[in-house]
Structure 1
Amino acid sequence: MKKIILTLVFSVLIIGCKSKSATNSQVDNKTERVIKGNWQITAVNYPGSDVIKVTSFDLADSKCFVGSNWKFVSNNNKGNFALNSPSCTAYSTPITWFINKEGQFVMKILDEAKAKKVKSGYVLNVANVTETSFQLVDKINVGGKLTDVVYQFEKLN
């Protein structure tokens, strides 16, 4: 009897202490439905943007993302984006994405691989969601201090 009680207590402790990750959370379907469709990044803002270069999503300078087109399909959590700034190298890729219950946008860039083979991705906060605009907010380390990089999305018709 003592073993059973100890086993139950230990099991409860293990389950209760299980860490939360951005990818094992429930999905926020309501917000996903609001941002489905075609979008364009109209601005990328962060303190010191005049002097600090930020490489977004390990792909290109953050300024190259201004004018990029994004498509989000909410029923299968697929989509794509394309960088098309004339002063930057053109780039297009499929993605998988979802928004978890903590309000975080979780994305994997697929390139040529299937989603289950891609082991890394990006987690950004979702902010100021309306029918026509929303923001993704990334945190970067600048001189030992966390700084917000805000991607402003506007809905395309």
Structure 2
Amino acid sequence: MKKFLSLTVLVLVLVSCGGTSKVAKQARKTFDGNWTLTSVTYPQNTGTFNVTLFNDAAASCLEGSTWDFVSNNNRGTYDVSGSNCTSGTRHFIWSIDEENTPQGVYDFLLKPVNEKYKSTNGNQGFRLNLSSLTQNSMVWEQTVTLEGSPFVIRMTFSKL
């Protein structure tokens, strides 16, 4: 009986401590659906920059792209179109990572994959900061290095 009680208590502790927080679960649900990448900006810098996002396309090619997030399997697609752009549908796997960030702040992980959702480019992915998320808009920020200094890329989305 003592072993059963100890095992039950252990299971309850593991279940209550593990898993995704209520806030992160709500964020996943909010992601679900179709979004448009309305703008790519560089809030701390002025000038013209030739930025390639996700080792895929120029920022100008991704502006106006449509993104579909499916929260029950963390898969998605985005469509690129436009002149001087390699048009087509791209696939990705995504997740919200709350483990390595302060409480209430989330990193968003995006990993490009092929049509069968298998890794491409040596299992490479991208970590972005989910700086804002509402029912109708979301903002990602990615900090990279430019000439030895931090360079912030801000991507703003609107829900369709």
Report TM bin, short chain. Answer: 0.7 to 0.9
| Matched-pair identity in % | 28
> Does the CA-based 8 Å contact 2:93-2:117 persist in structure 1?
no
SS at structure 2 position matched to 1:128: strand
Question: Partners of 1:92 and 1:114 in 2: how far apart?
Answer: 13
Tell me the CA shift for residue 124 of structure 1. 0.4
Which residue does 1:44 correspond to in 2? 40
Partner of 1:75: 72
Q: Which range moves more in the overlay, 127-136 or 79-88?
A: 79-88
Structure 2 counterpart of 1:148, which letter?
Answer: V
Does residue 1:63 correspond to 2:60, yes or no? yes
Deviation at 1:53? 0.8
Match of 1:18 in 2: none
Does residue 86 of the first structure (1) align with residue 83 of the second (2)? yes
Q: Pick one of 105, 114, 120 that aligns with 2:108.
A: 105
Q: Report deviation, 1:52.
A: 1.9
TM-score (norm. length: structure 1): 0.76
Structure 1: gaps spanning 5 or more residues: 1-24
Partners in 2 of 1:60 and 1:148 — Cα distance? 17
Give the 3 Å change call, closer, same or farther, for CA 48–153 of structure 1 in structure 2: same
Aligned to 1:30: 26
Show the counterpart of 1:122.
126
Show structure 2 runs of 5+ residues with no match. 1-18
Deviation at 1:39, TM superposition (A): 0.2
Q: Secondary structure at the match of 1:53?
A: coil
The Cα shift of 1:95 comes to 1.0
TM-score by length of 2: 0.74
Which residue in the other structure is 2:14 paired with? none
Q: Distance in 2 between matches of 1:154 and 1:142?
A: 28
For 1:32 and 1:54, the matched residues in 2 are separated by 28
Mark the CA change 1:113 to 1:66 in structure 2 (over 3 Å): closer, same or farther.
same
Which of 100-109 and 64-73 deviates more? 100-109
Alpha-carbon RMSD: 2.1
Amino acid at match of 2:112: I
Give the aligned partner of residue 151 of structure 1: 155
In 1, the alpha carbon distance for the partners of 2:143 and 2:77 equals 22
Question: Which stretch of structure 1 is more off in the superposition, 114-123 or 67-76?
Answer: 114-123
Q: CA deviation at 1:30?
A: 1.6
CA distance in 2, matches of 1:142, 1:116: 28
SS at match of 2:123: coil
